Structure 1
Amino acid sequence: MTISSIGSGSGLPVESIISKMLEVENQPITNLQSRNDTIKTQISVYGKIQSAFSSMRDAASKLTTPASWAALTATSSDTTMATVTAGSGSGAGSYSVSVSQLAAAQSVVSGAMSSTTPVGAGTMTIELGQWGDATQSSFTSKSGSTPVSISISATDTLASVRDKINASGSGVLASVVTDSTGSRLVIRSSATGEANGFRITTADADGNGSDASGLSALAYDPTAGIKSMTQNAAAQNAKVKINNIDIVSSTNVIENAVDGLSINILKQGDLTVTVGQDKDSVKKVITDFVTSYNSLMNLLRDNTKYDASTKTAGALQGDSTAVGLQAQLRNITAGGSTLGGAYARLSDLGLNIGTAGTITVDDSKLSSALGHLSDLKQLFMGTDSTNSANNGIATRWRALADQVTGMDGSLTTRTAGLQSRVTANNKRVDELTDRSAAYEKRLRAQYTALDTQMAKLNDLNSYVGKLTSMLGSSSS
């Protein structure tokens, strides 16, 4: 006899029975999967903690870097006259600056002409160099520079001549200025300084390069008596006295006349430049660390606490590694050092530790402490060769971060341990899944056999019933 569906022979709800039995059989799998979800959440949180520790380590490292404490700032007594920037190697102090002359670029301008009329064909040659004196009776070519010749066609207007000059790489820049009297070509050196003057000679197609007619109207070479264009600015160097020492510069940015100090002069006059320690940059390094440290402490606290009001626990509540890290951070932060002179603890300079383990900044107190940078520097980055527990606080923060995030650090080993548990649980889930599949197969085979047997018994019962009924009828 063929059974069309399991249970049809016995009349039992076999699928429901098997489902409930498999549910019991699979409960360990469900438990393991749920546990793995919890462990994966813990791994994710530890990843965030590791990242936060790395950020804290980077912030602490800046507090242990001499350059952070050596930063200088420069101020100008008159920023309309000069702006100043202190760089590496600058020396703290005050400097008198007197500007008698600004660096300038040579500039020449043509006479007025039509902007649409062709200038005249020929060749224009531009040469960089230095004029001998104010009369410009001599000209010395610039070392390393080569005269540049520009071919001008019979159809070129002022605008196209301008474009050809600007594309030539000759060391000058050209522009066209137009007013009610007409258009003029203005040519100036692209760089300031006496060595960046220039002269312009022309080979005019009309055969006369000095008659101010045709292309020669754009010539300027006083050494040959040619001044078809008019000079409206001479090339000159900046002349400055710093602490009464003469300084000459081809540009208006005076670099390293004083080590590491850059002075951008804007006009003539006298001013004072003051270079001092950059307390604002040090303050920022400290407050940036506080932000990074608080972020790490908040992350640890939120994931290890139990919220009684919501009856929920953090992902790492009761986790000994996370709790231990909190304790280590608190111990370093609450501790001090005898290396800091006037400052032994963070609270002495306005960094106060709250009950949550985070740091709050008393801005007024910190600003006052910045007046004693050498003591602050020692408190944060000092090294005690005889007792590492007395090292500067930032030095210990950084060392802790290096240790816990290292190859054998507690964060690394804890994360690896959690991952190995996930792997082991997954392996056990696979084993239990295979066992469950075999169990289901056995159940179905057993109930199929039961169905077949029950079907036969039902058929026999039906046959006996019919036979009994027939016998009863014949006896009557």
Structure 2
Amino acid sequence: MTSTTSATLTSLGLGSGLDAESIVTKLVALERQPITKLQTEASTIQSKISAFGKIQSAVSTLRDAAAKLTSPDLWASTAATSSDETVAKVTTSSGAATGNYSVVVSSLAAAQTTVTNASVASSTSTVGSGTLTIDIGSWAADNTFTQKSGTSSVSIAIADTDTLEGIRDKINSSGAAVKASIVKDASTGAAKLVVNSTATGASNGFRIQADASSTSGVAALAFDPEHSTTGTTRTQAATNASATINGVAVNSETNTISGALTGIDIKVSKVSSTAVSVNVDQDNTTITAAIQAFATAYSSLYSTIKSNTKYDDSTKTAATLQGDSTAVGMGNRLRTLLGANSSASSVFTSLSSLGLQVQSGGALTVNSTKLTSALSNLAEVKKAFAAADTTGSGADGFATRFRSLADELLGTEGPLTSRTTGLNTLVKNNSKRQDELDARATLYEKRLRAQYSALDTKMSQISSTSNYVTQMINSLNAANKSSS
């Protein structure tokens, strides 16, 4: 279309002598004025959609912050401290009870380790053939071995051509719960096979047996003191961690003692005869952070609505959503809900009584001193925020109310969703109308150019005829003058 128009532009009006191109351009511009108006309207609608998108995001953030304040896990959260974390470090989870505990660590959990007595010239030397069978279990004081329930024996065939490295690799790929490595003897430079349990705890020891057909080299890799094998030495026994909590003996196969205290895990790292004090208290830091996040989310939402609905008297400029009933209505509902009292708690009946204060500009801030004081009565603070009233008496907690409002606004038939859907429909209709008018303007321009092109042709013909007649008259006049 552009190239055709350009070709027309170079010739239109030549025959008539009129500035036809200018005439057509101006007439078409007049025809396209409604499109320009629609484009301006579309830009305004898109700005509104963008503004509502920001509000929707802020509502979602407020909804999440309010939901957290209604979560039982938040109000049951605890924090633990240890007087010596190098000995015992404590973490808490759901169900942990507040209290003070005295912990004494008498031993740490360890994995069984064995090392071969005889050295092999090097890790690439062969040791013979046979079969090694590995079992996981526990050793009694009299060297009696008991296989661990749920485990199976693992047999490893060793060939004459297998080097010590090859045997190590076969053990490690066998699926047995042990890990083999090779250590070089510093005094002789010879190689020794070291085997460790992959897990700590008394029930995770191991036994290595060699079958009767194993040659002496392979038999020397076995560890089975119950049957008097002497090829290897146990350098570390498989043991549990042992401790006392408030004088009560506890143990664990790992160095984390779990289950002794509900919701409390104690990770022990060092033996200590001196008691370590462990304190478990309500986690005011986490609760305070959640309340602060709620205040910040509310302030952000209110600020977003305010900035998009205001009218600036100094510049006489209206914001994108100034006068929009949906946005203005949301702001009014937020302010009303913020200032409403609740009977969910008999102690804290307003947000201000909890330390949440509304500033002159509408922002919500937290008075940390007042909130800290309120948290000394955690049960009532929890009611004030998280109570869910099923009687319809208006005893919902503050966070419950805001979560419900946010759910309503964000719902599939909520005001935000409906308004955004409506605006998107306007954009589609606007675009469709622009296309229709653009097509009409294109046809109009085509028709004008055809008409002026035809006029050019006629005017050109008339001009040629006129020139011919003038020449004939001039010739006749000249002939008459000559004859006279």
Q: TM-score range by the shorter chain?
A: 0.7 to 0.9
1:22-421 matched pairs, under 5 angstroms: 22-111=28-117, 113=119, 114-116=121-123, 117-133=125-141, 135-136=142-143, 138-182=144-188, 183-203=191-211, 214-268=217-271, 269=273, 270-307=275-312, 312-385=317-390, 391-421=396-426
1:338 is aligned with what amino acid? Answer: S
Please give the root-mean-square deviation of Cα atoms over the aligned residues, in Å.
2.8
**Residue matched to 2:6:** none
Deviation (angstroms), 1:470: 4.5
Change (3 A) 1:132 1:369: same
* Alignment match, 2:7: none
Aligned in 2, Cα 1:291/1:454: closer, same or farther, shift over 3 Å? same
Q: What code does the residue aligned with 1:372 have?
A: N
Offset of 1:411 from its aligned partner? 1.0
Q: TM-score, normalised by structure 2?
A: 0.86
Q: Secondary structure at the residue paired with 2:406?
A: helix
Please say if 1:427 is aligned against 2:432: yes
Matched letter for residue 130 of structure 1: S
In the alignment of these two chains, the number of paired residues is 466
Deviations, residues 204-252 of structure 1 (Å, cap 9, x unaligned)? 7675x5xxxx233323222222222222222233333334444343333
Sort the Cα spacing of 1:456 and 1:376 in 2 relative to 1 into closer, same or farther, 3 A.
same
Alpha-carbon contact 2:113-2:235 (below 8 Å) kept: yes
The 3 A distance-change label for structure 1 pair 306 and 195 is same
> Partners of 2:316 and 2:194 in 1: how far apart?
81
DSSP-derived class of the 1:218 partner:
coil
Identity among equivalent positions (%) equals 47
Compared CA separation, residues 469 and 283, structure 1 to 2 (3 A): same
> Could you say what secondary structure the match of 2:220 adopts?
helix
TM-superposed CA distance for 1:408, in Å, is: 1.8
Task: Judge which range, 36-45 or 150-159, deviates more.
Answer: 150-159
**Is the contact made by 2:118 and 2:220 (CA closer than 8 Å) also made in structure 1?**
no
Q: Confirm or deny: 8 A CA contact 1:336 1:390 kept in the other structure.
A: no
8 Å contact from structure 2 (residues 118, 231) kept in 1: no
| In 2, Cα distance between equivalents of 1:453 and 1:235 | 112
- Deviation, 1:17, is 0.6
Say if 1:163 and 1:23 are closer, same or farther in 2 by CA, change over 3 A.
Answer: same
Q: Counterparts of 2:285 and 2:351 in 1: how far apart (Å)?
A: 18
Q: Is the 8 A contact 1:115 1:159 kept in 2?
A: no
Q: Offset at 1:307?
A: 4.6
Unaligned runs of 5+ in 1: none
Cα distance, 1:105 vs. partner? 2.4
CA contact (8 A) 2:171 2:179 kept: yes
Q: Summarize the Cα distance change of 1:377–1:23 in structure 2 as closer, same or farther, 3 Å threshold.
A: same
Cα distance change, pair 462–362 in 1 and its aligned pair in 2 (3 A): same
**Relative to structure 1, is the Cα distance of residues 305 and 254 closer, same or farther in structure 2, using a 3 angstrom cutoff?**
same
SS of aligned partner of 1:281: helix
Q: Which runs of 5+ in 2 are unaligned?
A: 1-9
Of 395-404 and 4-13, more deviation after overlay is shown by 4-13
Write the letter of the residue equivalent to 1:353. Answer: V
Contact 1:120 1:205 in 2 (8 A): no
Q: What whole-Å deviation, never above 9, does each CA across 1:96-144 have from its counterpart, x for those lacking one?
A: 43443433322222226233443333322222222232x31x2222223
Contact 1:112 1:181 in 2 (8 A): no
Aligned residue identity for 1:187: V
User: Is the contact made by 2:343 and 2:394 (CA closer than 8 Å) also made in structure 1?
Assistant: no
For residue 267 of structure 2, give the secondary structure of its aligned residue in structure 1.
strand
Contact 1:121 1:204 in 2 (8 A): no
Contact 1:343 1:349 survives alignment (8 Å): yes
Mark the CA change 1:393 to 1:462 in structure 2 (over 3 Å): closer, same or farther: same
Compute the displacement of 1:11 (Å): 0.9
Please say if residues 119 and 156 of structure 1, whose CA atoms lie closer than 8 Å, have aligned partners that are also in contact. Answer: yes
Matches of 1:80 and 1:456, distance apart in 2: 108
Deviation of 1:172 after TM superposition, in Å, equals 1.9
The 10-residue stretch of structure 1 (179-188 or 36-45) with the greater mean CA deviation from structure 2: 179-188
CA distance in 1, matches of 2:457, 2:219: 119
Task: Give the distance between the partners of 1:199 and 1:432, measured in 2 at CA.
Answer: 89
